[in-house]
């Protein structure tokens, strides 16, 4: 039998870690991006631009496609080019339908701001362009002529994502009142979640159309900042830091029901690992 294969479109930070996971399991892995020079050994590079259909000619037939791009511009046109146009171009360029398509989305599709819980069935009425475009891209993925699953990641932290640590180091925190709940998932858990769901697809287990991927412990931002400040031995002197996102709590119950166990189930687990390595790179 031919080896099962995975194409990771937009093979960046999360995609490279996912690719390494899959290589360890003996799968054939292709990584598609504009610059393939920094792909890990073993991932077969495909140098292409998802915004240029001509560059996508000659793609290999694969078992699984993971669409895990990041927009290069944080504006509506940049988002639409990356998530809607790029996905459409890729689906048209595939030589044959894959067994399953995975699209990595974001909890920006949720508009809720009352500190309540949201899950895969909650209404999605985003007011910002990022959430609106993500919903459009989700619709493209879920209505493609292949089985598809959307994975909505909350705030990703990990190596190279240092905004929050830098903020705390400078003594800044969100206000205590009103509490602003935040949700996060470590980069390694993002890759592990996708690995887990891909394995379920390859072994014939049914998958939901949407999974919300966030760790076990939504927490007010001021509590997260206070814990980090204590770990780093700094004092919070400014509690006026603001956040772009609203205040909600993301439930991972459906994902947990598939048997997934988090490597870093809370922000304390994930940040402790990062701080112990003294990398100082996390969001």
Q: What is the pLDDT of residue 280?
A: 34
The pLDDT tens digits of the residues spanning 76-117 come to 999 999 999 999 999 999 999 999 999 999 999 999 999 999
The answer to the question of residue 278 being in a domain is no
- Of 246 and 140, more confident: 140
Site of tokens 């508009």:
111
Instruction: Considering only the C-alpha atoms of the chain, give the largest distance between any 2 of them, rounded to a whole number of Å.
Output: 62
When pLDDT is averaged across residues 249-263 and rounded to a whole number, the result is 98
pLDDT number for residue 243: 63
Give me the mean pLDDT over the 219-248 stretch. Answer: 87
Tokens of 57: 């000619």
Task: Decide if 46 is inside a domain.
Answer: yes
Q: Whole-angstrom Cα distance, residue 110 to residue 18?
A: 26
Please, are residues 180 and 164 in contact by the beta-carbon 8 Å criterion? Answer: no
Share of the chain above pLDDT 70, in %: 96
Q: Residue 160 in contact with residue 237, Cβ under 8 Å? A: no
Please give the tally of structural domains in the chain: 1
Q: Is residue 214 part of a domain?
A: yes
In angstroms and rounded to an integer, the radius of gyration of the C-alpha atoms of the chain is 19
Q: Which domain range does residue 204 map to? A: 5-160+183-223+249-267
Pairing outcome for strands 219-220 and 181-182:
antiparallel
How far, in Å, CA of 191 to CA of 196, rounded?
Answer: 9
Alpha-carbon dihedral sign for residues 110, 268, 273, 194? negative
Q: Tell me which residue has tokens 């640590």.
A: 165
In a domain, 280, yes or no: no
Going by pLDDT thresholds of 50, 70 and 90, the confidence category of residue 177 is: confident
Residue 242: inside a domain, yes or no? no
Task: Evaluate whether residue 262 is within a structural domain.
Answer: yes
**pTM listed for this prediction:** 0.94
Output the domain CATH number for residue 105: 3.40.50.720
């Amino acid at each position: 039998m031919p080896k099962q294969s995975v194409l990771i479109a937009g093979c960046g930070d999360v995609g490279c870690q996912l690719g390494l996971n899959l290589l360890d399991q003996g799968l054939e892995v292709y990584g598609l991006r504009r610059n393939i020079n920094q792909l890990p050994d073993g991932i077969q590079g495909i140098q292409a631009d998802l915004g240029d259909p001509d560059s996508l000619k000659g793609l290999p037939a694969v078992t699984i496609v993971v669409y895990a791009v990041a927009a290069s511009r944080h504006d509506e046109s940049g988002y639409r080019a990356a998530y809607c146009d790029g996905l459409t171009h890729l689906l048209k360029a595939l030589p044959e339908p894959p067994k399953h398509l995975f699209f990595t989305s974001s909890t920006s599709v949720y508009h809720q701001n009352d500190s309540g819980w949201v899950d895969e069935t909650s209404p999605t009425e985003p007011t910002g362009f990022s959430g609106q475009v993500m919903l459009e891209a989700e619709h493209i993925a879920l209505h493609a002529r292949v089985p598809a699953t959307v994975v909505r990641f909350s705030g990703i932290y990990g190596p190279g994502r240092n905004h929050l640590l830098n903020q705390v180091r400078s003594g800044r925190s969100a206000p205590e009142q009103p509490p602003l709940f935040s949700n996060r998932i470590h980069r390694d858990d993002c890759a592990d979640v996708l690995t887990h769901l891909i394995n379920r697809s390859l072994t014939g287990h049914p998958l939901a159309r949407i999974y919300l991927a966030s760790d076990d412990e939504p927490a007010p931002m001021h509590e997260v900042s206070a814990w980090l400040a204590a770990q780093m031995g700094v004092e919070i002197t400014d509690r006026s830091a603001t956040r772009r996102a609203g205040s909600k709590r993301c439930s991972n119950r459906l994902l947990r029901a598939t048997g997934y166990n988090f490597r870093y189930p809370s922000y304390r687990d994930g940040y402790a690992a990062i701080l112990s390595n003294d990398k100082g790179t996390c969001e």
